[in-house]
Amino acid sequence: MSANLEAARSRVNALREAIESHNYRYYVLDDPEISDSEYDRLFLELQQLESQYPQLLEPRSPTQRVGGEPLSEFSTAEHRIPMLSLGNAFSEAEMQAFDRRVRESCDAGEIEYCAEPKFDGLAVSLRYESGAFVRGATRGDGSRGEDVTNNLRTVRAIPLRLRGASPPVLEARGEVLMLRADFDRLNERQSAAGEKEFVNPRNAAAGSLRQLDPRITAQRPLRFFAYGIGDVGGQSMPRAHSQALDWLAGLGLPVSSERRVVSGLQGMLEYHQWMGSRRGALPYDIDGVVFKVNALVMQEKLGFLARAPRFAVAYKFPAEEATTQILAIDVQVGRSGTLTPVARLKPVFVGGVTVTNATLHNEDEIRRKDIWRGDTVFVRRAGDVIPEVARVSRPGARAADDRFVMPATCPVCRSAVIRLEGEAATRCTGGLFCPAQRKQALLHFASRRAMDIDGLGEKIVEQLVEKSLAVSPVDLYGLKPEAVAGLDRMGGKSAQNLIDAINASRGRPLARLIFALGIPGIGEEVAKVLAGHFEDLDNLVEADWGGIAEQKKSLQRDNAARKRRGEPALPQLLEGIGPELMDSLAKFLHESRNRAVIMALNEAVRPGLAGTPRGAALAGKTFVLTGTLPTMTRDRAKGLIEALGGKVAGSVSGKTDYVVAGEDAGGKLEKARALGVRILDEHGFMQLIKKKEIPDGR
């Protein structure tokens, strides 16, 4: 028996090695050595041996790509390094501007770029530890995605173990997609089984990867192509992006064979034209090409914007167009309250899908393009995703009633609509009670930077709204555990945890509550300014914005006169809040139903600054933090100051009230001494915070 087991072990190991080698040749090298039937024979032999000798079965065997019970939902996966999206370019002029910015930022002549097709699929990350695949996740919002490890294990193009010498940690990033031929065969099977066919390969790939049952995903012909590296540990990186892609290919990860290294703007334009001419002959869909600065040292120097790298751009192909007729123009209210006119179209096939609705963006765009009901128009899929009306092909009869006019009230809640000066968007003023905005209002209210209610995610909010358990944010504070326990996937413990998280949000700083209200144009920094000035919601809601505007104008005139006389300027009133934001605040806060919700929230939440006497907080005081404090981070100190209405500045000036200094304080401490600014160590700072009293200070 022992001899038989050892012979079986040897054969199993040989079969596993052969199958993974054939996967590599098929998916990475595109050079298969054996037929599909021969591959299937090897796979079946391995399955039979593992069944006969279960002690030889291993999780990383090729036969174990399929398995496991269906999940009830996907768990969240954090991206240690954010998965950012790419900035888009649609014209040669935009590419010229991108190349110029890169050259100027790097102080270089002609730049070398790595050029790749832009796959039309679903972005994912694959984490390998010591060469073994341990986790896979979707991009999600860039910071967090869905853990789809079990589903990605079923994709044969993804190696379960890397080839050769692999680093201790490697996070490869790429795209899951479906080849056109595989998509056609899948739809043939769907049709034969009497099931719904997929619209296009991208939808089929995305839907397949997000199946809760990995056995369904395993039946779908998914592919994977790597295009970059996220996290990497214990390994020195190549000097160029193109070399990094070669390295990934050597590890056994599929990489596009269409990648090239090009020089300068002309090289990028030629590659874009070349790929555009080959687009229809490729086995997969692409919607453009991606250019990345090839030298990694330059990539590091260029850095990132908020949501995209500055060293890369996606040069999109022109959108496909088709003509059809506008049957009607409706108005939709978005999650943020924006009113968007939408054309209802005679169905037309464009860009791989049948389009029946298309955005008209806003009233200005309708006027600019001179679009009326009944017109025959060109429709395109902007970026191959969002259908839009590009222009009029042939005017219709054009009776007076066919001209579009934005309604004066919200079509959902009948609140007045506003259009702020300088904005194209028209917005509903009923943000805290409008049904169209209800889900987003609750999600924003509970978000981490607002009231930070852990566990109140999209699926729970949807159920709360659909069951009328939460009509506005104030209803959250009246939820009972038994009502929450009746929601899907919310047992007794989960329900109580959510109630506890809601209760824990009571007493959050006033600035966070103001931000949580979702007032158009009011971000975190403006909310802090408002909290520091008004100190409680009553004062904010009852503010005379017309009077404040006049005070600001008067102060500006006084400061202009003081400047001419060489005198120091007086502190600005509500600095950074101009007439447009004051108009937005006035209209939002003066809407009677909004006011009712806000005052109920004030009572339920009792924010951290509510009821604090003006002389007992840090309102109007400016702090500078310098050096290393013994037990407190700067972020913590800054949070304490801002929670009490104070302001933290980056440099010491005559307007500074306090400098909080730790070890290695440096020049800021010296300047504070020279200017006579009061200096506090950590102990003195905490004494000040605890008292919430402001001595004269100088």
User: Homologous superfamily of 88-316 in CATH?
Assistant: DNA ligase/mRNA capping enzyme (3.30.470.30)
- Asked whether 223 and 27 are in contact (CB, 8 A), the reply is yes
The one-letter amino acid at 575: E
Spatial separation of the C-alpha atoms in residues 527 and 531, rounded to whole Å: 6
- Of 118, 587, 647, 668, the catalytic one is 118
User: Homologous superfamily of 614-691 in CATH?
Assistant: BRCT domain (3.40.50.10190)
Structure tokens at 469: 């358990």
Q: Which residues of the chain have pLDDT under 50?
A: 1, 384, 610-616, 693-698
Please choose, from the candidates 52, 43, 39, 38, the residue with its C-alpha nearest in 3D space to the C-alpha of residue 8: 52
At residue 85, the pLDDT reads 87
- Asked whether 284 and 177 are in contact (CB, 8 A), the reply is yes
At residue 590, the pLDDT reads 86
CATH class of residue range 321-402:
mainly beta
Question: 317: exposed, middle or buried (C-beta count within 10 Å: 0-12, 13-18, 19+)?
Answer: middle
At residue 516, the pLDDT reads 93
At residue 30, the pLDDT reads 67
The one-letter amino acid at 57: L
* CATH architecture of the domain with range 2-65: Orthogonal Bundle (1.10)
Cα torsion angle, 586, 592, 594, 597, sign: positive
- Asked whether 442 and 456 are in contact (CB, 8 A), the reply is yes
Question: 452: exposed, middle or buried (C-beta count within 10 Å: 0-12, 13-18, 19+)?
Answer: middle
* CATH architecture of the domain with range 413-611: Orthogonal Bundle (1.10)
Spatial separation of the C-alpha atoms in residues 666 and 654, rounded to whole Å: 18
At residue 667, the pLDDT reads 83
- Asked whether 293 and 356 are in contact (CB, 8 A), the reply is no
At residue 477, the pLDDT reads 93
Please report which helix (H) or strand (E) contains residue 246, including its range.
Answer: helix 241-250
Spatial separation of the C-alpha atoms in residues 688 and 395, rounded to whole Å: 71
Please report which helix (H) or strand (E) contains residue 12, including its range.
Answer: helix 2-27
At residue 617, the pLDDT reads 61
Spatial separation of the C-alpha atoms in residues 8 and 109, rounded to whole Å: 62
Query: Is 118 tagged catalytic?
Result: yes
Quick: pLDDT tens for 74-85: 888 888 888 988
CB atoms within 10 A of CB 419: 15
Question: 47: exposed, middle or buried (C-beta count within 10 Å: 0-12, 13-18, 19+)?
Answer: middle
> Any idea where the domains of the chain sit in the sequence?
2-65, 88-316, 321-402, 413-611, 614-691
